[in-house]
Amino acid sequence: MKKLRISLINIHGLLKGSGLEIGRDADNGGQTKYVYELAEFLSQHEDVEQVHLFTRLIDDPALSPEYAVPVEIINEKLDIRRIPFLGKKYKAKEQLWEGLDTFVNGVVQHIKSHNIFPDWIHSHYGDAGYAAAELSAILNIPFAHTGHSLGFYKKKKLLESGQNEEELEKRFKFKERIAAEEKTLELSEFIVTSTEQEIETYKAYKNFELGKYHAISPGIDTRKFAPYYFQETDIDKQMEETQRKYWVSETISKFLTNPHKPFILALSRPDRHKNLHTLIDVYGKTKNCRVLPIWSFLREYVKTLPKCPSLKKTF
């Protein structure tokens, strides 16, 4: 059986082999982690020959020089390949739409010059979906797509919050984004979603019926976790673990009326659209899950976030 060569496309994230800058800004959240770990997992699969992760080359003195390395070898079956376009400085993803054709041309030239024609392309987010559709047509290679988020709903929520449509279009390029999402539904071999319910969100698109969908739950690397009662053999590590547990307990317990109740842990960047306020409201109004005392802790946390005015309004 022929082993597969796979090209992943994640254009805007700050991707590198070590020290992912998760949370640096809105473009470097869960998607970056998701794509990198997917690439690592695929490279460990026995039926995969090689994985190439294509992204944008960034040569910005304000950032790590690693982002300017054209080809970064992660392991013997995985590398990151950076294609330059729209200058050298880091740009938010909304600023990259006008340069996507240049990116596509750069990827085509790179693939041909290095003779690394993939068997499959897997794009992530709308801009990469546009690039994958173009590459698929040029190179006659099938592609799959993961949306991560959809432009239709982001635009809808922002309009409902009272923001001006013309200003939103200038900032977020919704026309290009939604058109690209429609194109991926039409031309991709299939769309990857995290849940069956997520498939329903695509029904707002004209080309929903043209798409094929596979719900694949995100995995987790269980090697990174150990039971609470796990005992290290090294005495220093035992002490460090004990001190860490004590510090966490002391920090959180003072905000809770009953610290022995089970915890609900929600992790996300502090942005209103992550819906943390609704989570707190729902559990706070449920008698058996009363967590309202945690409000004071959250208020103190938000005070440390001067650049998140939308979240401060929530609290």
pLDDT tens digits, one per residue of 91-102: 999 999 999 999
Res. 300: pLDDT tops 60: no
Instruction: State the pLDDT at residue 301.
Output: 52
Please write the tens of the pLDDT for every residue from 59-104: 999 999 999 999 999 999 999 999 999 999 999 999 999 999 999 9
Instruction: State the pLDDT at residue 265.
Output: 77
| Distance between CA atoms of residues 267 and 270, nearest Å | 9
Question: How many C-beta neighbours within 10 Å does residue 36 have?
Answer: 22
pLDDT tier at 280 (50, 70, 90 boundaries)? confident
What is residue 266's three-state secondary structure?
coil
Stronger pLDDT, 231 or 270, i.e. the higher one: 270
Instruction: State the pLDDT at residue 22.
Output: 85
The whole-number average pLDDT for the span 238-263 is: 73
Res. 299: pLDDT tops 60: no
Average pLDDT of the chain is 86
Stronger pLDDT, 279 or 151, i.e. the higher one: 151
Instruction: State the pLDDT at residue 186.
Output: 97
pLDDT tier at 149 (50, 70, 90 boundaries)? very high
Per-domain residue ranges of the chain: 4-215, 229-314
Does 4-215 carry CATH code 3.40.50.2000? yes
The whole-number average pLDDT for the span 169-183 is: 96
pTM metric for this prediction:
0.79
- Asked if residue 271 lies in contact with residue 305, where contact means CB atoms within 8 angstroms, the answer is no
For the residues of 286-309, what is the DSSP string, one character each?
SGGG--TTHHHHHHHHHTT-TT-H
Q: At a CB cut-off of 8 Å and minimum separation 6, what does 35 contact?
A: 8, 10, 13, 15, 53, 124
| Distance between CA atoms of residues 274 and 308, nearest Å | 13
**Single-letter code of the amino acid located at 216:** I
